[in-house]
Amino acid sequence: MKISAIINTFNEEKKLPRCINSLKDFVDEIVVVDMNSSDRTIKVAEELGAKVFKHDYVGYVEPARNFALRQAQGDWILLIDADEEAPEALLKDLKAIVKENKVDYVNLPRKNLIFGKWIKHSRWWPDYNVRFFRKDKVEWNNKIHSIPMTQGRGMEIPAEEKYALVHHNYQTISQYLERNDRYSSVMATELVSEGYHFSSKDLIKRPFAEFISRYYAGQGFKDGLHGLVLAILQANTEFLTYLKVWEKEKFTDQDVDFFAKTTQQSINDLFHWQGKTSSLYQKIRLKLKKSI
């Protein structure tokens, strides 16, 4: 059975060679779908032997993925981003899976390198994604960060470093903030299209819930300063998303009493949550105190 690698790109001339070179002797073809890059991405891809197709720039990858799937000729698809590379141990396992012919799609772990560090907590590990599958068994809808729709039988590769896709994720704060601005705009548009109307309550509730999910429930504190910074940045994405919904509604002012009421309710909810998890807070506080 033939294997195709699919890579969606936008201004990835510096990262693409590392990605493609990691796939040597594994795939039968490499399909690059470029979204109007202004650098040498297309030329680099062609020089490395990839088949290049073009797709309109839409600010995020999902709409271009299904298009890329239609261009691939392989029976199996390895979906990989330009800022990722595949380790040899993983590729050997995937070859064996194809030979055994017992499953239709495979969840792969990803090792996220963010601001120069492997993030092992904060909901960034093992960061499973459906990235290897039979061509006709997986597809995406056009929503940002959507979970793929799968058919048939699936499996997970063990969450071990040697099997993980290496994801050279955010390298600078500026890179994060640029993508943060772009993604929050897309998510705000999707919320409005789904009928959501701005509520000031969500400006407090949603970012706080995201921070708690990353830093406490996801044990982001174990990632040190990186974990704290990432939890705040992820919370800020939520804040910007709902702020941009407000912008789309022409910054409609809300009744002062309504604003006070919803804000107070949000604060009450937060204190209620904190009360239910006071033992967790106490453990974290003591851990931090001992480490200082």
Report yes or no: 52 and 74 within 8 Å, Cβ to Cβ: no
Single residue among 153, 168, 183 that ends a domain in this structure: 168
The CATH number of whichever domain residue 117 belongs to comes to 3.90.550.10
Residue type, position 149, single letter = M
Cα 160 to chain centroid, rounded: 19
Helix/strand/coil (H/E/C) assignment for every residue in 55-79 = CCCCCCCHHHHHHHHHHCCCCEEEE
β-sheet bridge partners, residue 54? 34
DSSP E strands in the chain: the ranges are 3-9, 29-34, 51-54, 76-79, 84-85, 105-108, 110-114, 117-118, 129-134, 138-139, 149-150, 154-156, 165-168
Q: Report the C-alpha gap between 179 and 242 in whole angstroms.
A: 16
Residue whose entry in the numeric block shows the structure tokens 């981003």? 81
Cα 12 to chain centroid, rounded: 17
Q: Looking at residue 286, what is its pLDDT?
A: 58
91 lies in the same domain as 192: no
146 lies in the same domain as 7: yes
Tell me the pLDDT of the chain (292 aa) as tens digits. 999 999 999 999 999 999 999 998 899 999 999 999 999 999 999 999 999 999 999 888 888 899 999 999 999 999 999 999 999 999 999 999 999 999 999 999 999 999 999 999 999 999 999 999 999 999 988 888 888 999 999 999 999 999 999 999 999 999 999 999 999 999 999 999 999 999 888 988 899 999 999 999 999 999 999 999 999 999 999 999 999 999 999 998 866 676 677 666 666 666 665 555 545 555 555 555 555 4
Report yes or no: 84 and 138 within 8 Å, Cβ to Cβ: no
224 lies in the same domain as 144: no
7 lies in the same domain as 106: yes
Single residue among 102, 137, 168 that ends a domain in this structure: 168
Report yes or no: 19 and 85 within 8 Å, Cβ to Cβ: yes
Single residue among 106, 134, 168 that ends a domain in this structure: 168
185 lies in the same domain as 135: no
Structural domain boundaries enclosing 268: 173-291
Q: Looking at residue 252, what is its pLDDT?
A: 86
Q: How many CA atoms lie within 13 A of 199 on its CB side?
A: 15
149 lies in the same domain as 201: no
102 lies in the same domain as 72: yes
272 lies in the same domain as 230: yes
End-to-end CA, the chain: 56
- State the sign of the Cα–Cα–Cα–Cα dihedral 130, 132, 150, 152: negative
Report yes or no: 143 and 249 within 8 Å, Cβ to Cβ: no
Q: Looking at residue 291, what is its pLDDT?
A: 52
103 lies in the same domain as 180: no
182 lies in the same domain as 287: yes
Peptide bond into 17 cis (omega under 30): no
Q: Looking at residue 279, what is its pLDDT?
A: 56
Q: Please tell me what DSSP assigns to residue 123.
A: T
* Structural domains of the chain, count: 2
102 lies in the same domain as 7: yes
